[in-house]
């Protein structure tokens, strides 16, 4: 394949670098009292929009490869879309199609999982995020797996639900636990079935760590799911209600782990030798570590105790390079010919930088779900270690440190293209703490100002966008656009999840250069259109097959 990039005769490259900034979770909201972006003091963003070309881009739904326009975007999908420069069918859509055409249940992995339970009498375990947020998982996928297990005659099944409250309303856990309990009870009423919830916990406390930020989260989950080692209750509902009573105001994502016991006080579903285990999340970043805990022979991160002999599979393969996990139910999307690979193969110096919480997004997801670099000689990846949550206590996060490091690296003159991610708008946005989210947006704006000055001094081009909305819509809205209120307190209902709002796209060119202008004939343009735009800003023609550039 010919990877050569052709020089553009329409867009000469700038003297300095092209610096691409993702303001994670900073969308274009309704501008009301729940819009933390509008409420924040953002003189830099305001100035950039006043003085330079900008437009709105779609960052959710079919524009970024999700099943429908009711599906909110997320950081994984957003960075995939930007890096690929094309619309790629994403995890949720791929699982939906595999369930619809039945291919999920016809594959070798499903048959191996089922055979172990059917022939050897093992228990079928399902672990994953219980909600319809459709960012990491979907409850419909779980229900489909449960019903098929029942249909083929699996007698014993245990579910280990991780509670959301982050991609869905923050105290909505029982809205998902109750229908799950109903389905399990319906099947369990059959004389030859035992289908129950076995363990669980809030997603930010139990199992779903990412980027090795805190292995203790995975350890808590592993101990609960595998060893039945956590606080015990008679039901998931009792666990949730007890934790809420003991700590008023706690949200689902922060609920401690729990284990369900029988009348004798014994755990109903620890994972044992001969069992089958499916982690039913389709998104990879918070699924990799628990997969490693089940599969890796050499594992230094915590003591796993007596490790059971199981067949483990993911809904998808979460890391194609490292083959994590080895078994999976649905093939992941194949994303080739990313902008990062093109630049590397043309010996164009690249720098990627973010703090731990979003480091994988400017590297792994940006590169099409590929670990490592394409060319170590011309690429450098820098991770700034994140603070431990709760992020509302430090809403500035590592924005200043990221800015310090990027400016330092820019002054070396080594890199023609730099990409970075400020995590604040998303990570603090998920806490639902509006004052902290306002502060987070202001901290990002302050750092963006410093970065913008440095890029301008180098006669570079600054490109600013977001991967999805979040901080822009912190309250729930009704169909008329009004803010929903809690019937008991009269206060606005908190929305800790991503929004369906578009995101800004701003180009701040170098001093003394004729400004570019943005096209107004692409009303449906979204994040995939950015890659071709970046190629042109760097002075190259976009390769064939990329979505159209936004430059006039």
Q: Which of 75, 199, 386, 497 is catalytic?
A: 75
* Whether 75 is catalytic: yes
Question: Residue 447 burial by CB count (10 A; 0-12/13-18/19+): exposed, middle or buried?
Answer: buried
Q: Under DSSP, is residue 430 helix (H, G, I), strand (E, B) or coil?
A: helix
Radius of gyration of the chain (CA): 24
**423's tokens:** 């995590």
**CA pair distance 217, 226, nearest whole angstrom:** 14
**Residues ≥6 apart with Cβ < 8 Å to 292:** 299, 301, 324
| CA-based end-to-end distance of the chain | 29
**Mode of pairing for the β-strands spanning 503-508 and 54-57:** antiparallel
**CA pair distance 504, 468, nearest whole angstrom:** 10
Find the angle CA(466)-CA(252)-CA(246) to the nearest 5 degrees: 140
Contact between 83 and 366 under an 8 Å Cβ cutoff? The reply is yes
Which parts of 214-273 are beta strand (E)? 231-233, 258-260
**430's tokens:** 């998920």
Contact between 411 and 19 under an 8 Å Cβ cutoff? The reply is no
Q: Under DSSP, is residue 517 helix (H, G, I), strand (E, B) or coil?
A: coil
Contact between 126 and 278 under an 8 Å Cβ cutoff? The reply is yes
- Pick the closest to residue 196 from 119, 123, 273 (CA basis): 123
**Residues ≥6 apart with Cβ < 8 Å to 547:** 85, 86, 87, 525, 528, 529, 531, 532
Q: Under DSSP, is residue 351 helix (H, G, I), strand (E, B) or coil?
A: strand
Question: Residue 175 burial by CB count (10 A; 0-12/13-18/19+): exposed, middle or buried?
Answer: middle
**156's tokens:** 């014993």
**CA pair distance 452, 509, nearest whole angstrom:** 10
Q: Give the helix/strand (H/E) hosting 22.
A: strand 18-23
Q: Which residues are catalytic?
A: 75
């Amino acid at each position: 394949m010919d990877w050569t990039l052709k020089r553009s005769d329409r867009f000469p490259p700038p003297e300095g670098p092209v610096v691409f900034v993702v303001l994670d979770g900073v969308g274009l909201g309704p501008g009301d009292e729940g819009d933390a972006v509008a409420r924040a003091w953002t003189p830099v963003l305001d100035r950039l929009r006043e003085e330079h070309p900008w437009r709105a881009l779609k960052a959710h739904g079919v524009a970024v490869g999700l099943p429908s326009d009711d599906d909110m975007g997320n950081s994984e999908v957003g960075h995939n879309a930007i890096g690929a420069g094309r619309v790629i069918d994403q995890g949720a859509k791929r699982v939906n199609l595999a369930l619809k055409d039945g291919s999920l249940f016809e594959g070798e992995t499903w048959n191996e999982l089922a055979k172990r339970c059917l022939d050897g009498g093992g228990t079928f375990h399902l672990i994953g995020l219980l909600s319809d947020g459709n960012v990491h998982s979907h409850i419909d996928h779980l229900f489909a797996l449960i019903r098929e297990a029942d249909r083929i005659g699996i007698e014993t099944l245990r579910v280990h639900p991780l509670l959301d409250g982050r991609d869905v309303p923050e105290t909505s856990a029982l809205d998902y636990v109750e229908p799950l309990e109903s389905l399990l009870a319906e099947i369990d009423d059959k004389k030859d079935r035992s289908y129950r919830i076995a363990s669980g916990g809030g997603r930010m406390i139990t199992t779903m760590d990412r980027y090795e930020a805190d292995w203790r989260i995975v350890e808590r989950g592993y101990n609960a799911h595998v060893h039945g080692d956590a606080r015990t209750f008679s039901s998931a509902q009792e666990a949730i209600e007890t934790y809420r009573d003991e700590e008023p105001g706690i949200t689902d994502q922060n609920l401690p782990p729990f284990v369900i016991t029988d009348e004798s006080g014994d755990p109903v579903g620890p994972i044992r030798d001969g069992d089958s285990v499916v982690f039913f999340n389709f998104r990879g970043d918070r699924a990799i570590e628990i997969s490693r805990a089940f599969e890796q022979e050499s594992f230094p991160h915590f003591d796993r105790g007596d490790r059971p002999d199981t067949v483990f599979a993911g809904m998808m393969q979460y890391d194609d390079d490292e083959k994590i996990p080895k078994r999976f139910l649905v093939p992941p999307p194949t994303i080739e010919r990313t902008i990062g690979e093109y630049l590397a193969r043309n010996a164009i110096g690249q720098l990627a930088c973010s703090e731990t919480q979003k480091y994988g997004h400017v590297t792994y997801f940006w590169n099409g779900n590929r670990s490592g670099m394409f060319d170590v000689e011309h690429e450098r990846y820098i991770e700034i270690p994140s603070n431990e949550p709760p992020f509302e206590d430090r809403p500035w996060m590592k924005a200043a440190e990221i800015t310090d490091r990027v400016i330092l690296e820019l002054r070396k003159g080594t890199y023609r293209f730099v990409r970075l991610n400020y995590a604040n708008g998303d990570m603090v946005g998920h806490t639902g703490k509006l004052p902290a989210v306002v502060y987070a947006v202001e901290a990002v704006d302050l750092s963006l100002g410093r970065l913008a000055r440095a890029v301008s001094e180098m006669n570079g081009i600054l490109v600013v966008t977001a991967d999805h909305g979040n901080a822009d819509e912190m309250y729930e809205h009704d169909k008329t656009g009004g803010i929903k209120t809690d019937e008991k307190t009269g206060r606005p209902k908190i929305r800790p999840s991503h929004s369906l709002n578009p995101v800004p796209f701003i180009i701040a060119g170098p001093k003394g250069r004729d400004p570019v202008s943005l096209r107004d004939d692409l009303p449906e343009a979204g994040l995939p259109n950015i890659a071709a735009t970046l190629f042109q800003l760097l002075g190259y023609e976009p390769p064939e097959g990329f979505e159209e550039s936004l430059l006039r």
